[in-house]
Chains A and B, each alone.
Chain A
Amino acid sequence: AVQLVESGGGLVQPKESLKISCAASGFTFSNAAMYWVRQAPGKGLEWVARIRTKPNNYATYYADSVKGRFTISRDDSKSMVYLQMDNLKTEDTAMYYCTAGGSTTGPFAYWGQGTLVTVSS
């Protein structure tokens, strides 16, 4: 079965950095685009970042709200995806979910349990 397990969340101060991780299993990770989606407390869902596969040159895409501050990366040898978050702002406080899906399964068909990032002084 597909499993996505996030880790690395925590409490940080504004302008600090944090790197969260997602361990994937149960599917051919190297063939899958990977995504991060976040949800601020009591709010809706927001797509954050996307990384494509090696044949697509590991192209990356970001929501305007995080562009220039967040960096998504992947390690196919470890079936891991990461989100490096720099210059964090209080509005980045959210549950961060790792997600995956495809043309046959549908977009964001698989989700992790999430990791909570709190940005506060």
Chain B
Amino acid sequence: DIQMTQSPPSLSASLGDKVTITCQASQNINKYIAWYQQKPGKAPGLLIHYTSTLVSGIPSRFSGSGSGRDYSFSISNVESEDIASYYCLQYDNSRTFGGGTKLELK
């Protein structure tokens, strides 16, 4: 089974900051990684798939990159509505989520 190591587990940012979350797979996942946002009490929502494809309606301040085993997700110019938890998902072989990153305001 593929393991996904997501870091950091938590992140503190000021409004307008750029933040970056990383996920490392235990093997090459051929860019089949997606990123989700989850706010308290709500179901997760898909933001990005296939490494860098932004879902329709998602602001361009969200972006993703990477290849092989190493991937990153960034939010430029953090806004108050971005305060949430974020998860990566590999879907190259079965499905595995990363452990999650909680983004908080500094």
Contact = CB atoms under 8 A, between A and B. Distances in A.
Interface string A80-117: 00000000000000000100010001111101111000
A109 B1 contact: no
A101 B41 CA distance: 22
Contact of A109 (B38, B55, B95, B98): B55
B34 A108 contact: yes
Interface string B93-106: 01111111000000
A47 B97 contact: yes
Interface residues of B, number: 23
Contacts of B34: 106-108
A101 B49 CA distance: 11
A74 interface: no
Interface in B49-106: 49-50, 53, 55, 87, 89, 91, 94-100
Contact of B50 (A106, A108, A111): A106
Nearest to B35: A106
B95 A50 contact: yes
B36 A108 contact: yes
A108 B100 contact: no
B43 A106 contact: no
A47 B89 CA distance: 10
A106 B49 contact: yes
9 contacts: A44-B87, A45-B89, A47-B97, A97-B43, A106-B53, A107-B34, A107-B46, A108-B34, A114-B43
